[in-house]
Amino acid sequence: MFEQSAALRRVKPSATLAVTQQARELARAGRDVISLGAGEPDFDTPQNVKDAAIRAIQDGKTKYTDVDGIPELKQAIVDKFARENGLTYRTSQVNVSPGGKPVIYNALVATLSPGDEVIVPRPYWVSYPDMVLLAGGEPVFADASAETGFKLTAAALEAAITPRTRWLILNSPSNPSGAAYTRAELRALADVLVRHPHVWVLTDDMYEHLVFDGFEFSTIAQVAPELMDRTLTMNGVSKAYAMTGWRIGYAAGPEPLIKAMAKVMSQTTSNPSSISQWAAVEALNGPQDFIPTNAKLFQDRRDLVVGMLNQASGIECATPEGAFYVYPSIRQVIGKTTENGQVIGSDEDFARELLTAEGVAVVHGEAFGLSPHFRVSYATSTDVLEEACRRIQRFCGGLR
């Protein structure tokens, strides 16, 4: 009989991938479905990046590479951190993995022993707790609810730290809430960390370039240089350059950690695709002008979605600083009944009934650890977003 390992039994499959899959299956069965579940930009990889990949293939750059990345890409990453974040790293401090996800997982596998704790602000990106569990650690949740703008406060961080804490995971702008930390907010968290030298910080800056209304992005190593020797600054090309399928993520941090991560890769994945690495070199070194253009596009979509969702009966939607998600509350909807007689007892019920009644796929808040909410990804066209929000308004309007 098939049996999952003890480690895997602690883990649940990704809820966001499950919703996308469910929406795809309904669409295949002929239903008119709008999926607001996917976490990927709807625009194409830039042509200069595609051309670099084609050149790499034609030039025979198709063999194994250094396990944790080619020197040219590591240099492009060092340059990116210097140019955009004012951070000084050497190439020996850089890891390139097959996506942002493996960067985080490799760091956790490389550092966690049984019983070690990782502080995960809640709501969280679905994969953090399960990656911690799979790596043998224990996630410890710290509230970052709507009352504090979905941000971890210094007091909540202080309360979550124990002698077993190894890491704090920060994610700004956040998936699922879109919240981004200001310099002052990061400084307040850093002041707590300074008092606890055994706690390291893994900062996931995947959505760095998607910030709105003139918000200035900051990352903790920049705000608190004294934490540099225990911070892993993680990023990737997936979201900023519309390269989700290419699978390139990267991070920079203390050399012993980077070496340990390479050791994990040497016995598991080996290097990320050589072709994708050359494409990423071009993404980071090539023209960057489309980035602010896209950010403006996403800002307009955010405004549309926030406006329309707040007009839906029972929905309260905050205006986030970045990313391409909103995380509205459905507190006032809980306990109501749909036109089909189904009681909405949870955000999971809400998401299911919305999909059944109106063919709109969203991800329930429980998957991100904070209910009753749901996550909307607005990485899709304005027409589609308007139609989806109209359907959500109709669905909510029909609840009694």
Q: Which residues bind ligand PLP (CB under 6 A)?
A: 39, 99-101, 125, 171, 175, 204, 206, 236, 238, 244, 249
Rounded least distance, CB 100 to ligand PLP, Å: 3
Write down the least CB distance from residue 183 to ligand PLP, Å.
20
| Tokens encoding 376 | 């909307």
Alpha-carbon Rg of the chain, whole angstroms? Answer: 21
End-to-end CA distance of the chain: 48
Please name every residue paired with 121 in a beta bridge, in sequence order, or none if there are none: 142
Question: b/e string for 117-130 if b means 16 or more Cβ within 10 A?
Answer: bbbbbbbbbbbbbb
In the complex with ligand PLP, which residue's Cβ is closer, 158 or 366?
A: 366
Number of H helices, E strands in the chain: 14, 12
The nearer residue to ligand PLP, 235 or 338, going by C-beta atoms, is 235
Q: Which is nearer to ligand PLP, 39 or 69 (CB)?
A: 39
Shortest Cβ distance from residue 246 to ligand PLP (Å)?
A: 9
Q: Which is nearer to ligand PLP, 125 or 212 (CB)?
A: 125
Report in angstroms the alpha-carbon separations of 148 from 43, 145, 302, 373: 32, 6, 20, 15
3-state helix, strand, coil in the chain (%, to 5): 45, 15, 40
| Shortest Å distance, C-beta 127 to ligand PLP | 7
Q: Would you state the structure tokens that stand for residue 190, as one six-digit string?
A: 């850093």
Which one, 65 or 238, has the nearer CB to ligand PLP?
Answer: 238
- To ligand PLP, the closest distance from the beta carbon of 180 in angstroms equals 12
Sheet holding 374-377, edge to edge: 325-326, 374-377, 363-364
In angstroms, what is the minimal distance from the CB of 142 to ligand PLP?
A: 17
Alpha helices in 195-232 (DSSP H): 220-223
Half-sphere CA count of 67, side-chain side, radius 13 A: 16
Nearer to ligand PLP, 264 or 333 (CB): 264
Question: Nearer Cβ to ligand PLP, position 103 or 156?
Answer: 103
Residue 323 CB, shortest distance to ligand PLP, in Å, is: 8
